[in-house]
Structure 1
Amino acid sequence: KFLAAVPASAFFIGSLIGSAIYGRLADSILGRKKSLILSCLLTSITGFLTSLSANIWMYVFMRFLNGLTRSGIGICCLVLATEVIGRKWRGQVGQYGFFFFTVGFLTVPLIAFYTKTSWRSLHRIMAAFPFVYSLLILRLVEESPRWLLVRGNKTQALSVLAGFARRNGKTLPTDLQLLDPNFSTNLVNNVRADTPKMGLWECRWARIRMSIAMVAGFGVGFVYYGIQLNVENLNFSK
């Protein structure tokens, strides 16, 4: 039972480390879209390589790498989906992605049923999905206008927003100006004063909210994945 649990533990340890890495990449040099494509491609590669494992410890290592590489998918998808949505609908849109998360969980047992004679085939089939997703993202998904603006690319940010407006049958105002989100805008004597925004952990209310969210997220994840991974030990037949 110990060896059976090690691959899953390695996967989640990799996910924990990968979340920090992809969060940094998505906010800095790569942006949300490129980080998402990179995560999908690496997830596909490590998933396929997992099927070639020669022993349990190689399998554990590949599961660790798979968790490390796939963690950027959830992060970047959520940010890409919510950064272009107004405050009114942001909460609902953020939840819609989890419907597909659930569909994925329900699909895996179905695929596993038809590949029950070969766990290697299961990993190879699962590795194909993120590769296909990367191709769809490359063609259909736009970079976050907010990230483009933060990086100083106002022209491309306006182009992305114009595309969104066009798909909704609208046009952007000709005099539209985008403010740099790196600065907060205050009006002092009717004169705009730009001051740099404080960092997340430098602002007291942000620290409190983030700490509460982290504790709540840990609790939910602990219960959710704890039940999922321990379901084989639940004696439903008794």
Structure 2
Amino acid sequence: MDFDSALSKVGEFGLAQLLQSSLVTSLGILLAFQQVNLAFVAKEPSFLCTDPNIQGEAVCHMEKSCENIKFVDEFTSIVSEFKLICGENYKASLVQSMYMIGVLFGGLIWGPQSDAIGRKKTLFAGIILLATTSILSGTTQTYLQFAFLKFINGAAVGGTGLVVFVYSTENVGASYRVLAGTMVQVVFALGIAACGGLAYLIRDWRQLSFASGIPFIFYLSLYWILPESPRWLASKGKLTQAEALLFKMALRNKKQILRTDIALARPTKSSQKEKVSQPESVGYAEFFRTPNIRRRMVIQIFTWFACSVVYMGLTMGAGDIGSNAYISLALSGLVELPAYVACVLLLDVIGRRAMLSGCNILGGLACLLLIFIPDNAGSSAEMIQTALALIGKMGVSAGFNVIYIYSSELAPTSARSSALALCTMSARIGGAIAPMVAPYGKLMMFRVFGLLALSSGISAFLLPETLNQPLPDTIDDIENDTKKTQ
């Protein structure tokens, strides 16, 4: 039998999958800390010049340089530590850019490695790197040291986050993939909110770096608890090991079956010959050689890009919700939760394709409507702006969640991590481009956000529905339609 048939006998989402998924998914809180703590670690505090005979002049506009700068806020950051003010203030935002570039490269590196050597090894390699870079960043003595470590840290976050999602979703039944995938996003959103609280309690940037990194050390003990992904083992032809893990899952799920009841189909001689003639690993170019997989990947890459531009663009406006940066960050995470609840309730009812299209179209329309709401038009207009912005954020957050789940189902098992890595790369590029739109003004910004979200929602109708469909194992399955995913 194939893997999905065996999984149905083992239990599609029993105690075994629940424990494994919970342990891995909980990493999302710490990954969120790494992603957003730069909002405080690189935050610019208020400062003034304490040189004699200076009468309140703006420090950055003084004719003579100030020799004694005093930072007056109650928190510290790399800005106060390395004096990144005035002509040097661009370096604080440059760290964020370097971090995002690291996230991009991490996905490209971890994805193929996860497909080649396994989910478990790449997951714990990322955890080790995350703990090391986060803790060491709190000990740096120069700006260049800190920037380099944040680049490596970003790579570890991008790669580890990808493996967390794949591991959490590929060994549950088709009817539970939405729940498993959505919980990854929910935990990450809660991590964003929790980071606001952590930063409120810890105002020193070095201590905040330590607090964000030390918990990763405790996760290393899970190496002797978490098994390798049985679906990955089966896709690599390690059927005996996959069957052994499936049988253990069945016992934990209290399923009364024999090991022979979940025997996976062995390849025939003809299929073995075909497999020998094919390359063992799938390169990124393979996604564009044949028509079905090419159409899927082009639409997915554009959708990930559009979701990221709109999501990051609206998130960067979170500070406008209130004057308290800690509360604003917490709200920017909590506002995503209703979107994820909607995904859990509706995704298995109306399907992936309709949900993705509907959410992105909703977010796009909300952004376009913001064009017609004038600034400084009174409290009622401000309330409408806030409401539309939140609707846009919830819409694109739900769309982002759907495309994560959808892409993992559209990609073949043999190259699932690689496909997701390519998609996340386009998302990182979108996230880096989003800040470049803001200087052109709100009208242009919301026009771009709205059109991107709308066009991605419309193009999603060209993708096949995957609701309650078995996952394709190879690109040939997609091209030959043997898995009937279209």
Preserved CA contact (<8 Å) 1:149 1:157: yes
- 2:27 aligned with 1:27, yes or no? no
SS of equivalent residue, structure 1 residue 174: helix
- 2:189 aligned with 1:102, yes or no? yes
**Which residue, out of 311, 336, 339, partners 1:224?**
311
Preserved CA contact (<8 Å) 1:39 1:71: no
SS of equivalent residue, structure 1 residue 166: helix
- 2:219 aligned with 1:153, yes or no? no
- 2:264 aligned with 1:178, yes or no? yes
**Which residue, out of 221, 232, 236, partners 1:135?**
221
**Which one has a bigger Cα radius of gyration?**
2
SS of equivalent residue, structure 1 residue 158: helix
SS of equivalent residue, structure 2 residue 254: coil
CA positional deviation for 1:236: 5.3
- 2:123 aligned with 1:49, yes or no? no
Preserved CA contact (<8 Å) 1:44 1:131: yes
- Name the residue aligned to 1:214: 301
Cα separation, 2, equivalents of 1:143 and 1:174: 21
- Name the residue aligned to 1:188: none
- 2:180 aligned with 1:93, yes or no? yes
CA positional deviation for 1:231: 4.1
**Which residue, out of 1, 4, 12, partners 2:100?**
12
TM-score (norm 1): 0.84
Cα separation, 2, equivalents of 1:60 and 1:226: 23
The one-letter code sitting in structure 1 at the alignment partner of 2:312 is Y
Once the two structures are overlaid, the 10-residue window that deviates more, 37-46 or 90-99, is 90-99
Cα separation, 2, equivalents of 1:203 and 1:167: 42
Change (3 A) 1:7 1:226: farther
Identity, % of aligned positions: 30
Cα separation, 1, equivalents of 2:216 and 2:122: 13
Change (3 A) 1:79 1:59: same
Cα separation, 2, equivalents of 1:71 and 1:205: 27
CA positional deviation for 1:211: 1.7
- Name the residue aligned to 1:189: none
CA positional deviation for 1:174: 1.8
The one-letter code sitting in structure 2 at the alignment partner of 1:24 is P
Preserved CA contact (<8 Å) 1:42 1:70: no
Equivalence map 1:71-86=2 (5 Å): 71-86=158-173
Is there any run of 5+ residues in structure 1 with no aligned partner, and where? 186-191
- 2:148 aligned with 1:61, yes or no? yes
CA positional deviation for 1:36: 0.6
Cα separation, 2, equivalents of 1:204 and 1:52: 51
**Which residue, out of 172, 186, 199, partners 1:112?**
199
Change (3 A) 1:23 1:2: same
Cα separation, 1, equivalents of 2:199 and 2:261: 56
Cα separation, 2, equivalents of 1:111 and 1:177: 49
Query: What is the number of equivalent residue pairs in this alignment?
Result: 225
CA positional deviation for 1:156: 1.2
Is there any run of 5+ residues in structure 2 with no aligned partner, and where? 1-88, 324-375, 377-486
CA positional deviation for 1:173: 5.1
Change (3 A) 1:133 1:225: farther
The one-letter code sitting in structure 2 at the alignment partner of 1:132 is F
Preserved CA contact (<8 Å) 2:243 2:259: no
